[in-house]
A = this chain, B = another copy of it.
Amino acid sequence: MSTVRHMARQARAASNLLGVASAGARDGVLRRAAAALRSACPELLEANARDLDGARALLAAGELDASAFQRLKVDAAKVEEMARGLEAVAGLRDPLGRVDLRRLLDEGLELQRVSVPLGVLAVIFESRPDAAVQIGALAIKSGNAALLKGGREAAASVRALVDILRRCLEEEGLPGDALQVLQDRADVDALLALDGDVDLVIPRGSSALVRSIKARTRIPVLGHAEGVCHLYIDAAADPAMAVALARDGKLQYPAACNATETVLLHRDCAPVILPLLARGLPGTELRGCPRCRALLPDLVPASEADWDAEYGAPILALRVVDDLDAALAHIRAHGSAHTEAIVTEDPDAAARFLREVDAAGVYHNASTRFADGYRYGFGAEVGISTSRIHARGPVGIEGLVTVKYLLRGHGQIVADYAGPGGRPFLHRDLSPGT
């Protein structure tokens, strides 16, 4: 058996134990880990310093970019932030053992549907070492085991952080093997072949990372490869609101997946709103379609490729459309089903947009940047999914559980309910309680 398969099997066994551990024990691990992180701060900074030394060489050789180098850095404030993150996850409601269906199939034959862990997660992230702690905490809270692989430049930091979490699991009488660190890219390749042993792959990083993982595995992947989000400015839009939403959508954090990439303008309002946009988004490169450029000749010409671009930068594509139908058609053709917004004072246009756009998030008079697990009040975010299977949109810790059906009887057999003259089912729903 390959090493990675062996690790996955150990993770499965650990998950079986963790999944039936009490909420108190799972939360206990997280609280212990918060304290342990704080007291191990010097050692963590030391491990991170080793990573930073290596990363400087990669940076000089052009194998690591400056922003990845920044994300790699851990200081005392970052350690405190991780510790607080652990405590916050400990404080979330237990996602396990929740009963969402209770039904008497017949007197004395009760069906329940109850939440249980998915089992074994694989988490692949890039340079941020704190990703290991965040996702490790969510895994422990939800009774899942996780195989973790960070960027090679973060190896020492990730190892030091995960060692602490493993020790805290064992101090609480739980298996440390619930969290394991993969070594290198060959391990990741081996891991991605383990459908059956791994239940869900969670990539945390660039869309290039997500795309590459999706292309290489049959294991379900929670994530989104692209975030091409639109703001459609309807004829009946409030101009000041339209500009504010475009500015926030594009500039509040341009690298985010929920940033607005293209603004579509109804032809009737374009003459008024285009100049306002140009003034309202200073420092932003505006790329316009020919109809935009007829109104505002200074715009950079947009090419076909702009309609599919996720800039991750202060660049915004602009297109004039004839009407709502044309806007909907553009979004169908170029949207990534992430988050789409309309700005309008016309309730009918808003209703049609909310109804007809097929995306994880569809907004009326709100910034696309709201698409986020914390802003939605989920307490934690596992990722944002543009898949239609399992979870869609921002995914909280509920995305890490599945269900099982429990049936409690008194010896009932199916033959008694079968065929003509068979006993009918009762199918009476009971209150799920907790």
Contact = CB atoms under 8 A, between A and B. Distances in A.
Interface of A: 16, 19-20, 103, 105, 109, 111, 113, 116, 118-119, 199-200, 214, 218, 220, 238, 241, 244-245, 247-248, 252-253, 332, 343, 350, 354-356, 358-367, 369-371, 375-377, 388-390, 392-394, 402-415, 417-418, 425, 427
Given A199-B389, A218-B218, 9 more contacts: A16-B358, A105-B376, A119-B388, A220-B220, A244-B413, A248-B413, A343-B411, A375-B414, A389-B402
A392 B388 contact: no
B409 A366 contact: yes
24 contacts: A105-B375, A118-B388, A200-B389, A214-B218, A248-B414, A343-B411, A359-B404, A361-B406, A361-B407, A362-B405, A363-B409, A364-B407, A365-B411, A366-B412, A367-B414, A369-B414, A370-B412, A370-B414, A377-B427, A390-B390, A392-B403, A392-B404, A393-B404, A393-B405
A350 B409 CA distance: 11
Contact of A16 (B245, B332, B390, B394): B332
Given A252-B413, A389-B200, A402-B392, A408 B364 contact: yes
B377 A103 contact: yes
Contacts of A105: 370, 375-377
A100 to B, nearest CB: 10
Contacts of A390: 389-390
Contact of A111 (B248, B359, B376, B409): B376
Given A370-B412, A411-B241, A358 B220 contact: no
A348 to B, nearest CB: 14
A237 to B, nearest CB: 10
Contacts of A20: 355-356
Contacts of A363: 406-409
B119 A358 contact: yes
Contacts of A244: 411, 413
Nearest to A414: B369
Contacts of A409: 363-366, 370
A29 to B, nearest CB: 19
A-B pairs, top 4 by smallest CB distance, nearest first, are A366-B409, A248-B413, A377-B427, A369-B414
Given A375-B414, A415-B252, A408 B366 contact: yes
Nearest to A103: B377
Contacts of A361: 404-407
A113 B364 CA distance: 14
Nearest to A409: B366
A319 to B, nearest CB: 21
Contacts of A238: 411
A261 to B, nearest CB: 16
